[in-house]
Structure 1
Amino acid sequence: MSLAGYLITILALVVAQAGYLRLARWFGIIDRPNARSAHNDLTTIRGAGILFFLAGAGGFFYTGFAYPYFFAGLTLVATVSFLDDLRPLSRRYRLAAQAVGIALLLYETGLTSNGVWVLIGLVLVGVGVLNAWNFMDGINGMTAWYGMVTVGTLWSWQEQLGSPMAGSGLPFVFIALLIFSTVNARRQAICFAGDVGSISLAFAVLFSLVQVISLTQTYLPMLLVAVYGVDTGMTLLYRLCKRQNVFQAHRLHLFQLLVHKRNWPHLRVSGVYALCQLVINGLVVIAVTWGLQAQGILAGSVLALLAGLYVGLRRWALNE
């Protein structure tokens, strides 16, 4: 994309964000705190992450309608998620839409030819990833900064690998995240991404991650979401051990405990998560050319270190 293209994209997305914030105030689309919320403000706008979907749409048109099944899936999950932001929908409708969206994503990447049971398993994993990512919107700056680290790395890596996706949707999404950060990554957030933003962003990241894994012929790029992935996985395991309802809203993620139990500022927690992930991403990009055994040692070491930090910091936060 040319410099003029970037400038036009920035201007269009800035106008889109300003327009949405104005409309959201007019129609009263605000975030109502629940059991997992990290704030009590009744004026914070919800659903501003619709900007990520608009960015994806911009990339779709810019590339001459490349990856139509992916975009159809993105449109489906974004639409249902935005409706859920406006008025809570039944879980079964949301999950059904997400399952169809993931199936379309898998069809676009050619992963639907591995058998029906493998397809079902991949769809379930994909839906789980979308819903896990949705929790990231719980504190100011997390979606914006962690998203920029992840999307920025994937974008840069695709450029290096000569991916046909390079320069398509990810530059638009990265710009959208940068713009969104100006109203979210602050002490008092003006808005949150909402389900539409979190789910749309996760959908785009998942598609790009599958593409990079396919190009590099290794699963090492999965570490590009290791920090948040370990937090989510360990929290889920903790809740299962406590026999809690895993579908119920909660504040048990490590980043939530650091905010609520240790009174860390939102932006400090978000910054630590983003910085840790950035360091890991650098190691992954370097190690992708290593042998399989060396990659396995690196992946095991990173995951073990993150798991150990999770357990230690969790006990510290809860004074256990």
Structure 2
Amino acid sequence: MNTYILVLLILIVASYIYLKLAIKFKIIDKPNERSSHTKITVRGGGIIFPIAILLFFFFNDYQYLYFVLGVFIISIVSFLDDMYTLSSKIRFPFQVIAVCLILYEVGLPFSPIYLFAISLIIGVFFVNMFNFMDGINGITGFYSLAVISGLYFINLNEQIVSSELIIYVFISILIFGFYNFRKKAIFFAGDIGSISIGMLIFFIGLYLTIQLSSPLIVLLVIVYGADSANTLLYRKFFTKESIFEAHRHHIYQKLVDVKKISHLKVAVLYAVIQLIVNLIIYKTYRLDLQIQLLVLVVLVSIFITGYIYLFKKLKA
């Protein structure tokens, strides 16, 4: 408990110092086509997420060296992107390296090479998904709390990953929420926040999936997954836009822009839906594989159908 208090205090001080430095050096987020906010706000507040991971590393006998190294590398690049807006040609190689380090950490073999390559592609998409979905106040924080809660309680049963890692990051998200869970946020997570939290969830989720041989673990991010993947397919096949350009096609953006629902209400809605799915997963991840696959297909079908319905209904 004393360690948790120490971590809490360190992260509170770190967040305050970062806020002051960001204001001084004008590390700010200007609204663009993808954003649903209208006010210039400090960006990069999610820097406390990788700091929490580093604190775990130093306070817990240097566990998960390659994962932490991957987070450290991608956090530096992402923070530079928050400051200067780097080209994807610069960011992508470092993302590949970071995901490779995670795959090595969880013990995924290089052979067969096609399986490793598929896992690498999924990993890079996964960490970027958290970045693409970070467009309104509260969504990264609330949704990450929901996903991490699901991972924590499953891991509590199985004791596969150190629970300390999850708790440290949970604390950092709560502190981040103090600045972000507002009508007018004081700061945003930035690329460093959204991508580092994506790395963490990918690492723990992949570790649990491999150790438990349960395909249902992937559903711990089904709300984000359905929105981001279906939106990507829509833009690829039905618009002339580049999939790398900023846009406002995500369901959460349409709920804010078309239905005029507040940012925090939409963020909480995403988190609550994910928590409901988490409960289903928690009750079924130990069942026979055939039953798990049935649950997987049913839930994926529901979310795809729901996405299509909402997309048509909310089309501006």
Residue of structure 2 in register with 1:143 after alignment = 140
Aligned with 2:99: secondary structure? helix
Residue of structure 1 in register with 2:29 after alignment = 31
Q: 1:178 aligns with which of 147, 164, 174?
A: 174
- Is contact 1:161-1:215 (8 Å) kept? no
AA of the residue aligned to 1:227: V
Number of residue pairs matched? 315
CA deviation string 1:193-250 (max 9, x = no partner)? 0000000000000000011112211111100000110111110111112243111111
Residue of structure 2 in register with 1:231 after alignment = 227
TM-score, scaled to structure 1: 0.96
- Is contact 1:58-1:169 (8 Å) kept? no
Aligned pairs for 1:1-320 (under 5 A) are 3-42=1-40, 44-163=41-160, 165-242=161-238, 243-318=240-315
- Is contact 2:81-2:191 (8 Å) kept? yes
- Is contact 1:225-1:277 (8 Å) kept? yes
Q: Identify which range, 303-312 or 194-203, moves more after superposition.
A: 303-312
AA of the residue aligned to 2:30: R
| Percent sequence identity over aligned pairs | 36
AA of the residue aligned to 2:15: Q
Aligned with 1:190: secondary structure? coil
| Distance in structure 1 (CA, Å) of the matches to 2:85 and 2:35 | 16
Moved segments of 4+, more than 3 Å: none
| Distance in structure 2 (CA, Å) of the matches to 1:289 and 1:108 | 24
CA deviation string 1:251-287 (max 9, x = no partner)? 1111011111111111111111000000000100110
- Is contact 1:60-1:168 (8 Å) kept? no
- Is contact 1:187-1:267 (8 Å) kept? yes
Gapped regions of structure 1 (runs ≥ 5):
none
AA of the residue aligned to 2:140: T
| Distance in structure 1 (CA, Å) of the matches to 2:121 and 2:314 | 32
- Is contact 2:133-2:228 (8 Å) kept? no
Give 1:118 shift: 2.4
Give 1:159 shift: 1.9
Q: 1:112 to 1:34 in 2, by over 3 A?
A: farther
Give 1:38 shift: 0.8
- Is contact 1:29-1:86 (8 Å) kept? yes
